Amino acid sequence: MKDSLGGRARMTSSDVVSERLDNHKLSSSPFQKPVEVVRWFGAVQAQDFNAAKWALALRIPGATNALIEKAFNEGKILRTHLMRPTWHFVAPDDIRWLLQLTAPRVNIKSGPNYRKLELDDATFKRSNKVLTNALKGGKHLTRSALRTVLNNSGIAADDTVRLAHIFLRAELDAVVCSGRLIGNQFTYALFDERVPATKALDREEALARLTRRYFTSHGPATLQDFVWWSGLTAVDASRGIGLVDRHLKEALVEGRAYWNTRSMQNTPRSVPSAYLLPAFDEYTVAYKDRSAILDLNHGMPSMTSMGLLDPMIIVDGKTVGTWKRTNDKKSVSITLNVLRALTKSERQVITKALERYENFLGVPVQILGFAQEPAEQAPA
């Protein structure tokens, strides 16, 4: 993207926020199925399963918890370790090429733990074979059941951390992936029985595809943001940008280069928008620098970059507070912790966001007030 002088265009942090709201499909969304959201992002962080289900539902008009769980149980979306490492939702037609690209980096990062836990290639070869034999034939088994199988085969698996790394390696080696839920318990299934065969991509094709997915869905973003999100090296991430350069628009924000896949300009919004983002939502977790969503114009208290990964109340793309969910047998309670005074219109859109969450859950939601809120400012 060039300015009138032939150089790189310039943007403000407000432009970045506005474009991200659109690209994250929070302000509007064409998606009807969970897999469409997951495929759009490339992968969706999902170590907190309940939070990740809500993250998908936020991008699907009218989506319910039951809809997301149905897609998960049917294998329409999968949950496995892909990047950094942590769990992600991923589309079945993307998982093979993504693992080929990112698994080597995750194994390098996990190497010290492998060695500390006395897990070498020979042990992983044995554990992968044991897991394959246990799961073949369409079986979906819990971690507890597979721990017993591993122990009975002579592979020590009672240590929780050691067991977790055995499963991590089996996921990275495309031996296992998520199976259907049994009650509230997760299961593993055999990868090749759960994942359809897809056309293989060479490394450059995979790198180009992931790069374009990231900046299409998460842009505007920096090279450092992409490195953080993908877990790739800076060299590989830069190479990826070069491979898809013709599809990207570049602009400067306070002297730093940002990329997006379309022209970047602020989109005025006539009314405020509000969202109850879950912990680790892609809108917050996918960036090394998360300062763009801080509402500094209202004298907001400082928040750490990691603090922004908590469940956030977002108004017009900026954080105005946090929220917390507590459950009892028949209902859910939500406590709002607002960090600045809210206008009447902001309260109204937050109330609508709460109603949307209630519809997603399908159970009554009790609001426990705007905790720790300063005195309200004059209405807008």
Of 152, 170, 194, the domain-final residue: 194
Cα distances (Å, whole numbers) of residue 259 to 165, 226, 245, 246, 249: 35, 10, 9, 11, 6
Residues 164 and 295 in one domain: no
Taking only the tens place, the pLDDT of each residue in 279-294 is: 999 999 999 999 999 8
- The span from the CA of 55 to the CA of 53, in Å, is 5
Of 143, 162, 194, the domain-final residue: 194
Give the pLDDT confidence score for residue 339 in this predicted structure: 87
Residues 312 and 188 in one domain: no
Residues 48 and 141 in one domain: yes
- The span from the CA of 319 to the CA of 315, in Å, is 6
Give the pLDDT confidence score for residue 378 in this predicted structure: 33
pTM greater than 0.75 = yes
- The span from the CA of 97 to the CA of 166, in Å, is 22
Give the pLDDT confidence score for residue 234 in this predicted structure: 98
Closest by CA position to 166, among listed 188, 197, 136, 137: 188
Paired tokens of 171? 């996921």
Give the pLDDT confidence score for residue 308 in this predicted structure: 76
> Does residue 233 fall inside a structural domain?
no
> Does residue 234 fall inside a structural domain?
no
Closest by CA position to 276, among listed 234, 241, 313: 313
Give the dihedral of Cα atoms 44, 80, 168, 215; nearest 10 deg: -30
Burial class (CB in 10 A: 0-12, 13-18, 19+), 10: middle
Q: What angle do CA 351, 12, 275 make, to 5 degrees?
A: 15
Domain that holds residue 44: 22-194
> Does residue 115 fall inside a structural domain?
yes
Number of domains comprising the chain: 2
State how beta strands 365-371 and 332-338 pair.
Answer: parallel
Of 149, 175, 194, the domain-final residue: 194
> Does residue 171 fall inside a structural domain?
yes
Give the pLDDT confidence score for residue 297 in this predicted structure: 58
Give the pLDDT confidence score for residue 9 in this predicted structure: 81
> Does residue 248 fall inside a structural domain?
no
Paired tokens of 51? 């939070």
Write the DSSP assignment of 151-183 as a string of letters.
HHTT----SHHHHHHHHHHHHHTTSEEE---BT
> Does residue 216 fall inside a structural domain?
no
Residues 176 and 288 in one domain: no
Contact 177, 195 (CB under 8 A): yes
Ranges of residues in the chain with a pLDDT under 70 are 1-7, 262-271, 296-307, 369-380
Taking only the tens place, the pLDDT of each residue in 21-71 is: 999 999 889 999 999 999 999 999 999 999 999 999 999 999 999 999 999
Residues 166 and 57 in one domain: yes
Question: Which residue pairs from 292-297 have beta carbons closer than 8 angstroms and sit at least 24 positions apart in sequence?
Answer: 292/13, 292/16, 292/17, 292/20, 293/17, 293/317, 293/318, 293/319, 294/318, 294/319, 295/319, 295/320, 295/339, 295/340
Residues 33 and 144 in one domain: yes
Residues 47 and 173 in one domain: yes
Q: Name 284's Cβ contacts closer than 8 Å, sequence gap at least 6.
A: 277, 290, 293, 308, 309, 312
Residues 190 and 282 in one domain: no
Burial class (CB in 10 A: 0-12, 13-18, 19+), 228: buried
> Does residue 50 fall inside a structural domain?
yes
Give the pLDDT confidence score for residue 296 in this predicted structure: 62
> Does residue 292 fall inside a structural domain?
yes
Give the pLDDT confidence score for residue 367 in this predicted structure: 87
Residues 41 and 132 in one domain: yes
State how beta strands 86-90 and 78-83 pair.
Answer: antiparallel
Give the pLDDT confidence score for residue 2 in this predicted structure: 43
